[in-house]
Chains A and B, each alone.
Chain A
């Protein structure tokens, strides 16, 4: 039904990112269903990256973050490994590299897939277009094909089996982009797309000086929790842009999303619709956020949020 499968893994100081290890889970499921083999492609340095995949295709390349060389390296690995399916995490970088890779290979690409099933020997990829208003199942008709997988759609592959590392030499094109990257200073270490719990503040927070109560709630919820915000909040510079969720910001799928002082505009909901549980705190009972909330608390967030924090701390 399909050849072998590769996952182009993203890795950083902590090893392979959890978003990529989630894609390993899908790769393993597909490999056992199709009888193919799967491997992780690691581009650049391999030391910090050998986690959780039985097989690693390592493509060394010059330092730098140029996405075209990344795509070319992945294309090379795909070719050598007899690949029918190429998977990446649907992160900002993953989506960008996937688009270049699909363009380079002249094959189809489904971005930001939220699931996958096999029906009568056909692999169907689930997507949630129109800001999550409809779901569609896509069949890919090219060989190979490329897909990216929305963070937190699968559990990360557990275990860290020792991997067989094959290093391959690829002639990579000279980069067309010069990229300099600057880590954002962050209060919290977890990326908003990777967090299991997201506490999000809107204009109802009234100003950046009030974010302390949200940070305390995050703290009380433990290490899986982090902060996000609505667009006007990041536009006003109250919070960094990396925390902005919605149509023009990040799309996230935490287990729990807590919206504090957010009205729930469609453009906002587009970024959070695939959250498993949504709690909303808003003093206006008619706020549209309550239409998508599983648990809505009508009240003043300056009372409700600290009360929740106290309750969590007091009842552990």
Chain B
């Protein structure tokens, strides 16, 4: 079984993100970069299928030179091969990313293509569905549990007020939610082996963008909140605040 996992390198969740001085873009991030947390769970699922069914796992990342580090991290977790779809900067339009990734993925047959539900930075929430659309294969979004047999996958997902059980044939694209599995840590041996594993580099073919950022700004900062030590009058004061100031009850 050949599995591809699309991983996006994103700023660490704790990292500070600012508008750039130009007022219309987001400033280059200068903190720690991580593998998108949902994608890490996708890598974990692929590695579980490697452990249980001997799957061969290839991780694929599109982006500038820095994303090689994310690929090495996934190799250290246990992925077998990596493809770096290289471009100068991360595209603003997820459709552009999806097109270039789909072009790369179409070069080989995959039993399964895994991705994350959403990138925590740009929050595009569409690359997996677009890849599946381009390849003409089924896609299931926001997957929280999955089992794969010879020719089908059976997955569970949550939507508002309901749990869905979805079945489809493979090959398929599954967009994984982090809740599916906690990713394993790379072992020392894994890290050493990752250094010797191949990272194929291909040039991304990026088409025109379908959207542009016209302004970036900080959200209204909350005024320094009112903070009190709980005491005899707190409940009455708090309720008065909610009624008279916030006017929400």
Which A residues are within 8 Å of any B CB, using their own CB?
Answer: 65, 67-68, 91-93, 95-96, 98-100, 102-104, 106-112, 122, 124, 127-142, 145, 176-184, 186, 191, 193, 196-197, 221-222, 235, 241-242, 244, 247-249, 255-256, 266-267, 270, 273-274, 276-279, 285, 290, 292-300, 303-304, 307-308, 310-312, 315
Contact indicator B218/A197 (Cβ below 8 Å): no
Smallest Cβ-Cβ distance to B131: which chain A residue = A103
Which 7 pairs, one residue from A and one from B, show the smallest C-beta to C-beta distance?
Answer: A299-B230, A108-B210, A103-B133, A99-B129, A176-B138, A99-B126, A307-B235
- List residues of B (211-228) whose CB comes within 8 Å of A's CBs: 211-219, 222-223, 225-228
Q: Which of A179, A276, A296 is close to B164, meaning CB atoms less than 8 Å apart?
A: A179
B161 touches A242 (CB 8 A): yes
**B interface residues (Cβ-Cβ under 8 A, vs A):** 11, 13-14, 16-19, 26, 37-38, 93-95, 98, 120-126, 128-130, 132-134, 137-142, 144, 157-169, 177-179, 209-219, 222-223, 225-230, 234-236, 238-239, 241-242, 246, 248-249
Q: Is the interface of B mostly helix, strand, loop or mixed?
A: mixed
Distance to closest chain A CB from B60 (angstroms): 18
Known: A197-B249, A256-B242, A297-B238. A99 touches B130 (CB 8 A): yes
- Distance between Cα atoms of A278 and B211 in the complex (Å): 33
Min C-beta distance of A298 to chain B, whole Å:
5
CA distance in complex: A277, B212 (Å)? 31
Cα of A95 to Cα of B128 in the assembled complex, Å: 12
The answer to whether B213 and A136 touch across the interface, beta carbons within 8 angstroms, is yes
Given A184-B162, A294-B246, 7 more A-B residue pairs with CB atoms under 8 Å apart are A96-B129, A99-B128, A102-B95, A106-B95, A108-B211, A181-B165, A186-B161
Residues of chain A within 8 A (CB-CB) of B158 are 92, 241-242
Asked if A110 and B211 sit within 8 Å, CB to CB, the answer is yes
